[in-house]
Amino acid sequence: MASRPPAGRELLRYDRALGARFVAGADEAGRGALAGPIVAAAVLFEPGALTADQISGLERLNDSKKLAVARRDELALLIGAAAVAISVVAISSAEIDEHGIQAANLGSLSRALDLLQPPADCELLVDGFALPQQARVHRALVKGDATSAAIAAASIIAKTTRDRVMEQLDALTPGYGFGAHAGYGTAVHREAITRLGPCRAHRHSFAPISLAA
C-alpha cells in the first residue's frame, strides 16, 4: 500500500490551485479558553516563489491542534523564513469582557489580515468565519487549517504565540497552571479557580468565572 502524502503537501496544493500570486490565511487561538487573550495570526505566502527547501519544510504543516509542541515550534521558525509577511493580534481578557468573544474573534482576525497589507493579487482565506469588518473579499473555509497551507501556518503562529503568553502569565500568576493548560477549562484549572478564585487574567464575563467570583 502506498504511503499517504504529507498533510502539508495537500495544503500547499490547495493554495497553488487558487491561481493567485499571493495567498494569505488567518486563524486564531484561545477562543474557547477561560483565561488569557485570544490571539489571531495571518500569514502571507507567495506559493510560486517558495524554494525547494521551504516547500520540503512546509510539507510538515498540519492543523496546529494535531501537532506536538516541539513540531509546532519548529514549524513556526520555518513559516517565519518562508512567509512574505506575518502579523499577530492579541485581544486581552479585559477587552473580551468588554466587547464579547465573538466581536473580539472577528475583529482580531480582520485586523491581522489588514496588518499584512496584502497585495492586490492576493486570495484572503479565513478559518471558519466571514469577517464583517473586512473590506476586502475573502473566503471563510470550514476546517481551513486542514485545507489551506496559509491558514494552517497562521494557526501555528497563533498557537505558539499564545502559548508563550500563557507561560508568562503562569510565572506572573502562579497556582492556576496556565503554562500547562493555556487557560482552557480543564479539571485542574477549574479546581484552581474554585480554590483561589478568579484572577485578572480570567475572562470574567464567561459563566464559569462569573459564577465563581
Closest CA to 55 of 18, 97, 9, 2: 9
**Please, what is the average pLDDT of the chain?**
94
Residue 3, pLDDT above cutoff 90: no
**Structural domains in the chain plus CATH codes:** 7-162 (3.30.420.10)
Q: Which pLDDT score, from 0 to 100, does residue 5 have?
A: 66
Q: How confident is the model at residue 1 (pLDDT cuts 50, 70, 90)?
A: very low
Q: What is the per-residue pLDDT across 80-98, written as a single tens digit (0 to 9) for each? A: 999 999 999 999 999 999 9
Q: What average pLDDT does range 183-187 have in this prediction?
A: 96
Q: Which pLDDT score, from 0 to 100, does residue 194 have?
A: 94
Cβ contact 124:85 at 8 Å? no
Cell of residue 167, nine digits: 507561560
CA distances to 105, 140, 162 from 149, in Å: 21, 14, 20
Alpha-helix runs per DSSP H in 19-86: 52-58, 69-82
119 vs 186: CA distance, rounded Å: 42
Q: What average pLDDT does range 104-123 have in this prediction?
A: 96
Cβ contact 8:149 at 8 Å? yes
Radius of gyration of the chain (CA): 18
Residue 191, pLDDT above cutoff 90: yes
